[in-house]
Structure 1
Amino acid sequence: MTTMTVPERYGESVLSPNWHAELERLIAMAEVADRTTTRTLHELGLRPDWQCLEVGAGAGTVATWLAGQVPDGSVLATDIDTRWLEPAAAPNLRVSKHDIVLDPLPVSTFDLIHARFVLEHLPERDTVIAKLCRSLRPGGLLVIESIASFPIASCATPAFRDAMHAIESTLAATIGTDAAWPRAFPAPLQQHGLAQVSASVHIPATGGRNASARCWSHTLTQLRPRIAEHTPQALPAVDEALRLLDLPDFFDLAFATAICWGRNIKTQ
C-alpha cells in the first residue's frame, strides 16, 4: 500500500479551483486529452446501457460525452469540487460531491469506471484502486489515465525540461503526486485482480500556442509561487518556459498521458 505524509491535498491551494484561470486550464487540458479518452473508451466496447462512474470529473467534458453515449444507462460524475459540473445537463447524468479517498462507493454497481489525472495525485492510490475494483460489476471495466513524466528527460529544450521537472518535483513535495508511477502500467490493475489488462501512451506535441501549450502555461503560472518555495533555482527555467510557450514556433514534448485498463472477471 502506498503511504506518505504530504502537507496538503490536490485542490486545497495547489491546482486549486479558486485560482482565477483554473477553468481555462482544465478546458485546455480537456482539449488535449478528450479525443484520446473517447477513442479509448469506444475501442474498449462502450455500450449504450452501461452504468458509468466518472471520478474527478473536473470541467465535465468526459462526463457529458459519456452521458450521450449511454442513452439507456447512466453517468455519475464525482469530484471534491463540483462547481463546473453543476451546469451539465442530461437526463441520465448525475453530479455528486465526493472524495474518492474518504467517501464510500457502492459495491458491484458500475460497468465502467473512468478516472483521468486523479490517481497519480493521491498518495492513497492503491487503496483507491481497490475501492474502484470493488465497485465494478462482474465484467466491468476500469480505465485509468495519468500524467507520466518519463518523456521529459529527452526534452530538446533545456529550460522547458527543467520547468517540467520543477512541476513534477513541486507536486510531489506538496500533494504527493507520483508522475513516475504510471510507467508501471498496467501492473497496478493486475495487482488488484483485474484481467484482460493492457496500456497505451499518448504524447501530444506542446507548442504553437496549442491547447497543450496553454495548459502547461497555466500550470506553470499557477505553480510558480510554490516552485519558488521548493526549487527556487528552477525559476529562471520556468520564466523561460513561459516565454517559449507563448511563441508560435516553439514545440517540444512534455508529460505523456499513460492509460491502462482491465476488467473484473469475478462473478457475484
Structure 2
Amino acid sequence: MTAPERYGESVLSPEWHGERERLVAMAEVADATTIRILQDLGLGPDWDCLEVGAGAGTIAAWLAGQVPDGSVLATDIDTRWLRAIGVPALHVTEHDIVLDPLPESAFDLVHARFVLEHLPERDAVLAKLCRSLRPGGLLVIESIASFPIASGGTPAFRDAMHAIESTLAATIGTDARWPRTFPAPLLAHGLTGVSASVHVPATGGRNASARCWSHTLAQLRPRILEHMPRARPAVDEALRLLDRPEFFELAFATAVCWGRKPTSP
C-alpha cells in the first residue's frame, strides 16, 4: 500500500529551519564510508555518474572532482542546496525517482544514499536504477537500518529511535528493516559481483551522529506525538541525552550494498 505522504513534503521537509544542518551532519557521518567504498570499487576518471537524492550535495561535489573526463548528474526532488555548489562536471536537475524516467544504459555509476528505504515503490525504483546502468556499470545503494537499536542499553533513547522508525513507516512508508536483506535485492535484479557491508557509528559526545539524530527527532517530534502520544517522555529525554557530551549509544546503522550490471545477457 502506498503511503499517503512522500519524503520531503511535510516529513523531513527542506522547509524545516534545521534541515540543511541535519543533512550536513548526516553527510559528516556517512561520507567517509561512501568515499572509501567508491574508491575501493574502482571509480574511474572518465565515468558518467548519477547521484540520486543528492541532498546537501557533498558526495555529488566529491564525485565531480574525481571524474575530470566524465560527468556527474545530481538529482533530488528539491535542489536548493545543490545549485549553489557550482563545480565543473556537476549537473543538477530536479527529478522524482519514483515518477520521472531515467535514460537507460547511460551511467557507469549509480549511487543512492538514504533514498530507497523511504520509498514504498523501492523495488520498481531499484529496477529503474539497474536499467540506467551501462553494461559493467556499478550500482551502490546505502540505507538506514534499524537492527542495532534493539541492543541499546538506554531505554529512552532506544524507544525514541523506535518511535522514529515507526513514525516514518506510518507516514511515508519507510522500511528500515529492508536493508537487513542486503544483498538479496541486487541479486534479484541480476547484478553480479554483489556484496554488502554495514557501518555503525557511535552516536554521542555531541558528534555529527548525535547532531543528526537530534535534528531528526526535533523535526519529527510533532508527527511522532500524533502517531505515538505515549512516546513523549522518551523523545524529550532522548533530546536531552543527545545534548550531553558524556552520552554515547548506537542508533541506526548504514547498510551498503553494491553490484555490477552484467556485460552480456
TM-score w.r.t. the length of structure 1 is 0.98
Structure 1 residue 168 and structure 2 residue 168: aligned?
Answer: no
**Identity of matched residues, %:** 81
Aligned equivalents of 1:151 and 1:232: distance in 2? Answer: 24
* Counterpart residue identity of residue 74, structure 2: A
Structure 1 residue 93 and structure 2 residue 77: aligned?
Answer: no
Aligned to 2:28: 31
Aligned equivalents of 1:103 and 1:244: distance in 2? Answer: 41
Structure 1 residue 137 and structure 2 residue 134: aligned?
Answer: yes
Aligned to 1:258: 255
Aligned equivalents of 2:228 and 2:250: distance in 1? Answer: 22
Aligned to 1:127: 124
Aligned to 1:77: 74
Aligned equivalents of 1:5 and 1:187: distance in 2? Answer: 23
Q: Which runs of 4+ in 1 moved over 3 A?
A: none
User: Which deviations, in whole Å up to 9, do the C-alpha atoms of 1:74-101 show, x marking residues without a partner?
Assistant: 0000000000000111221000000000
Aligned to 1:49: 46
* Counterpart residue identity of residue 13, structure 2: S
* Counterpart residue identity of residue 240, structure 1: E
The structure 2 residue matched to 1:234, chosen from 220, 231, 244, is 231
TM-score w.r.t. the length of structure 2 is 0.99
Ranges in structure 2 where 5+ consecutive residues have no aligned partner? none
Aligned to 2:155: 158
Backbone CA RMSD of aligned residues: 0.7
Aligned to 2:143: 146
Aligned equivalents of 2:178 and 2:263: distance in 1? Answer: 26
Q: How many positions carry a matched residue from both structures?
A: 265
Name the SS for the 1:9 alignment partner: coil
The structure 2 residue matched to 1:106, chosen from 88, 95, 103, is 103
User: Which deviations, in whole Å up to 9, do the C-alpha atoms of 1:3-39 show, x marking residues without a partner?
Assistant: x221200000000000000000000000000000000
Aligned counterparts, 1:200-215, within 5 A: 200-215=197-212
Name the SS for the 1:17 alignment partner: coil
Aligned equivalents of 1:106 and 1:90: distance in 2? Answer: 23
Aligned equivalents of 1:44 and 1:254: distance in 2? Answer: 27
Structure 1 residue 9 and structure 2 residue 6: aligned?
Answer: yes
Aligned equivalents of 2:263 and 2:41: distance in 1? Answer: 18
The structure 1 residue matched to 2:112, chosen from 111, 115, 127, is 115
Aligned equivalents of 1:132 and 1:248: distance in 2? Answer: 41
Aligned to 2:221: 224
Aligned equivalents of 1:47 and 1:105: distance in 2? Answer: 22
Aligned equivalents of 1:120 and 1:36: distance in 2? Answer: 18
